[in-house]
Amino acid sequence: MSESRGPDGPDADHVRPPGAGDTTVEALGALSEALETVERARGQLYGFHQLTGGADLALDRALELLRMGGHTEQADLVEREILGRNVIPGRWTFQIVEAYDDTYYQPFVEVERRVRQELLGGRRHVYEAEMKEARRTHGHPQHTARP
């Protein structure tokens, strides 16, 4: 890793390596932003997984109450047609999450890491660190470069 820019600058892990130009740093910033969006999408997918699973489990109480109320035919319908149903052909939500992770998420993470390693020596958030340097008020106690 390269040297830091002194005590009032970013640490060495956030300074661009020699030879990395502005376009490269901006490109890696855009790649990082895309990965962050994928992380958010993955979180949404896990939310979908948990909400759908919770709804399926809540059917147990609905079935119990329908049967207690004498609505056996309707309870049987809900149990037969909805309880434990695939959300897409052949898949429950955990299978969708696993397929997303294996097919898209993990390859995205691995490629981002590889490109970052090849072009910035593995440094993360160099673009953002440079933006912070440009925007902060040097010398202000709430605008320090480091924790």
**pTM of the predicted structure, to 2 decimals:** 0.84
- Please tell me the total count of domains within the chain: 1
Q: Quick check: is 93 in a domain?
A: yes
The reported pLDDT for the residue numbered 13 is: 87
Q: What's the confidence (pLDDT) of residue 1?
A: 41
73: in domain: yes
In a domain, 42, yes or no: yes
DSSP character string of 15-37: SPPTT--HHHHHHHHHHHHHHHH
Identify whether 37 is part of a domain: yes
Task: Give me the pLDDT at residue 6, please.
Answer: 63
Domain that includes residue 32, residue range: 19-135
Residue 3 lies in a domain: no
Has residue 1 been placed in a domain?
no
Answer whether residue 82 is part of any domain: yes
Residue 144 lies in a domain: no
